[in-house]
Amino acid sequence: MSVLDTKPPAGIADAKAAAASLASSQHRRPSLGLMIGQPLSVVVVLAAWAIWRSQAELDSIEQRQLDWGLLGRLTVEHLKLTVVATVIVLAVAVPLGIALTRPRLRRAAPIVVAVANAGQAAPVIGLIVLLAIWLGFGFWTAILALCLYAILPVLRNTIVGLQGVDRTLVEAGRGMGMSNRSVLGRIELPLAVPVIMAGIRTALVLVVGTATLATFIDAGGLGSLITTGIRLLRYPVLISGAILVAALALLIDWAGRVLEEITRPRGLG
């Protein structure tokens, strides 16, 4: 801040402008350090790890486990689990959240949120194993477990975001002759987007971390490096797995943040 800013505003107009800029700054944009620093530090760590990997002396098991091709495949599997689960969560939770804020279903909202809450409160490892016993091992069982686990933040944020839209704006829209559907699409959802997107980012981060457990039911992912590392007492494999999972989670979190910024409607500050 410059010295000029310490002077009192010259007039009422200035004071109002100052107040307006204060009000608009309530939405703190993620700092540049976070937006650039986070991916940058992840890249640095990954690069350091890659250099170590190409120079370290590894025994045959370690070499097989840390084979570049295998690592690539595991990463793709992990991403696939994350993306598919998140897409399904979105497809279910957002429409469900919208439905639960409409007058007809509004009363059911607390019950559904309670159920979703139970999904998140249950330990994922237990959930995954139980579902696997019931539905068999494999990719789709893991997806189901991840979805149950991650549905709550998106559902809750969709409901909260829509409920948070100023009622007078909704009434203004209706009073001007917009249909219910068009009020939802053109006023309620755009205004709720920041809150909904925050829920989606939370879900993404939950899923990318939890997908590590998919390996227990043979659904792949980077988790297999960690379990193998533990089972065979191969620390290079174990630590590599941990580093890769953490890096991936941080990158996904960053991507979610970028998405939040991009989708935030202009005019909301």
Partner 1 sequence: MPESTTETTGVDIELIDVVKRYPGQKRAAVESLSLHIPAGEIVMFVGPSGCGKTTSLKMINRLIEPTSGTIRIGGEEVGRQHDDDLRRRIGYVIQGGSLFPHMTVTQNIALVPGLLGWDRRRTAERVDELLELVGLDPARYRNRYPRELSGGQQQRVGVARGLAADPPVILMDEPFGAVDPITRQRLQDELLSIQEELRKTIVCVTHDFDEAVKLGDRILILTEGAKIAQYDVPEAILANPADRFVADFVGAGAALKQLTLSRVSEIELGRRTVGEIGAKAADVLRAAQAADDDCIVVLDAKRRPVNWLWTRDLLDLDRIPAPRDDTDLVTIDRRATLNDALDLMLVSSHGSAVVTGRRDEYLGVVDFQAVLTRIQETHDEHNPTPEVVA
Residues that bind partner 1 (CB under 8 A): 13, 16, 20, 23-24, 166, 168-169, 171-179, 182, 187, 190-191, 265-269
**Structural contact between residues 212 and 225, judged by C-beta atoms closer than 8 angstroms:** no
Q: Cα angle vertex 173, ends 194, 165, to 5°?
A: 30
Q: In terms of C-beta density within 10 A (0-12 exposed, 13-18 middle, 19 or more buried), how is residue 31 classed?
A: exposed
Q: How far is the CB of 16 from partner 1 (least distance, A)?
A: 5
Q: Which is nearer to partner 1, 69 or 175 (CB)?
A: 175
Q: Which is nearer to partner 1, 171 or 261 (CB)?
A: 171
Q: How far is the CB of 269 from partner 1 (least distance, A)?
A: 6
> Coil, strand or helix: which one is 94?
helix
Q: Which is nearer to partner 1, 194 or 241 (CB)?
A: 194
Distance, CA of 39 to CA of 36 (rounded, Å): 6
Q: How far is the CB of 266 from partner 1 (least distance, A)?
A: 7
Q: How far is the CB of 24 from partner 1 (least distance, A)?
A: 6
Q: Which is nearer to partner 1, 10 or 121 (CB)?
A: 10
CB atoms within 10 A of CB 76: 12
Taking Cα atoms as reference points, which of 172, 146, 144, 158 lies closest to residue 105? 158
Q: How far is the CB of 268 from partner 1 (least distance, A)?
A: 6
Q: In terms of C-beta density within 10 A (0-12 exposed, 13-18 middle, 19 or more buried), how is residue 159 classed?
A: buried
CB-based contacts of 208: which residues, under 8 Å, 6+ apart? Answer: 78, 82, 245, 248, 249, 252
Q: Which is nearer to partner 1, 71 or 198 (CB)?
A: 198
Q: Which is nearer to partner 1, 37 or 185 (CB)?
A: 185
Q: How far is the CB of 121 from partner 1 (least distance, A)?
A: 35
Return the H-helix or E-strand segment holding 240. helix 235-263
**Structural contact between residues 172 and 186, judged by C-beta atoms closer than 8 angstroms:** no
Q: How far is the CB of 90 from partner 1 (least distance, A)?
A: 21
Q: Which is nearer to partner 1, 20 or 111 (CB)?
A: 20
Q: Which is nearer to partner 1, 95 or 269 (CB)?
A: 269
Q: How far is the CB of 174 from partner 1 (least distance, A)?
A: 6
For 109-140, letters b (16+ CB in 10 Å) and e give beebbeebeebbeeebeebbbebbeeeeeebe
